[in-house]
Structure 1
Amino acid sequence: MNEKIYKTITRTGACNLAVGIITLVTGIAAGVLLIVGGARLLKRRSEILI
């Protein structure tokens, strides 16, 4: 019985770690893309007519 609980906890921990890493990488990538897009807009702000 204890072995089943231990294996379940181990798998859950590994899954949570993997999801956390994926979330972190996705967040960093999205942040970089937003910064690059904002920089491009600021660079060409004199060309934008509203």
Structure 2
Amino acid sequence: MAGAIAIVVALLIFPSLVLISGGFGSAILGFFLQRDGEIRHEGSELLDIDD
């Protein structure tokens, strides 16, 4: 019985952790890529449209 409970807990926790960590990773990557794009294209008229 303990093995079944452990499997159910593992199936509920691990996918949630993967999705949450993927969301955090995407947010961090998006922040740094946006900042890099703004630095590389400083002075471009297209940055004014983005806001």
Secondary structure of residue in 1 paired with 2:39: helix
Q: Does 1:22 align with 2:20?
A: yes
Query: Greater Rg, structure 1 or structure 2?
Result: 1
- Structure 1, unmatched stretches of 5+, are 46-50
Give 1:13's match in structure 2, choosing from 4, 11, 14. Answer: 11
- Structure 2, unmatched stretches of 5+, are 44-51
CA RMSD across the alignment: 1.5
Q: Percent identity?
A: 9
**Higher RCO by CA contacts (8 Å cutoff, separation 6 or greater):** 2
Q: Does 1:35 align with 2:36?
A: no
Structure 1 distance, partners of 2:28, 2:19, is 14
Q: Normalising by structure 1, what TM-score?
A: 0.71
What number of residue pairs does the alignment pair up? 43
Q: Normalising by structure 2, what TM-score?
A: 0.70
Which residue of the partner structure matches residue 48 of structure 1?
A: none
Structure 2 distance, partners of 1:42, 1:20, is 32
